[in-house]
Amino acid sequence: MDSIVSSTLKKEFLYSNALSWLSSNFKDSRNAIETKDAESGEIIFKGNLPDKVIVMLKSGKQTLANTRLYFTGKIIIKDEKFRIIFTDLKYSYITDTLYSDLLNRELRKDDKYNEKNLANLESIVKDLSQALNKKADNDF
């Protein structure tokens, strides 16, 4: 997933807003942020989203399973524009060995169970874009 957004803000403000958003939206942003470089305007972070999906057991029975969508996010910032990229999209089920064949399955657009997860990522892009474009309240 890749999104380019234009802005009226300078690189320094966009970068600061990105770090603020990450610290507000991750329990421990210091662990979530893998690299950050103000000069190049790049921030790389890892995260995950919880979800529940219906899965088919090897016995043929369906059951509800807890899952998490894992992702790597990259924000590339320049004056008056930024790019948000999500890669390494995978989900895994947090259960016992019955689901071992489902662990770390790659996220595919054609998988009906992933539509909600992809919509969640699109929502993150929208929220992050709004946060980056927020002008300072104390701008003189």
- Kindly report, residue by residue over 97-128, the tens digit of the pLDDT: 444 444 445 555 555 556 666 777 888 889 99
End-to-end CA distance of the chain: 37
Range list of β-strands (E), 57-107? 62-78, 81-93, 105-106
What residues make up the domain containing 72?
2-130
Domain count, the chain: 1
Report if residue 39 sits inside a domain.
Answer: yes
Report if residue 84 sits inside a domain.
Answer: yes
pLDDT in tens, 72-81: 999 999 999 9
pLDDT in tens, 42-60: 999 998 887 776 776 777 7
Distance of CA 97 to the CA centre of its chain: 27
| DSSP-assigned beta bridge partners for residue 97 | none
Report if residue 61 sits inside a domain.
Answer: yes
Task: Say which CATH number the domain at 67 has.
Answer: 3.30.530
pLDDT, position 97: 45
Q: What's the CA gap between 106 and 114, in Å, rounded?
A: 10
Top pLDDT among 122 and 65 is at: 122
pLDDT, position 65: 74
Report if residue 137 sits inside a domain.
Answer: no
Report if residue 85 sits inside a domain.
Answer: yes
Which among 128, 43, 44, 40 is positioned nearest to 78, based on CA atoms?
A: 40
Report if residue 116 sits inside a domain.
Answer: yes
Report if residue 118 sits inside a domain.
Answer: yes
Beta-carbon count within 10 A of 113 CB: 17
Residues in the chain: 140
What would the mean pLDDT of 22-38 be, rounded to a whole number?
A: 89
Q: What percent of the chain has pLDDT over 90?
A: 37
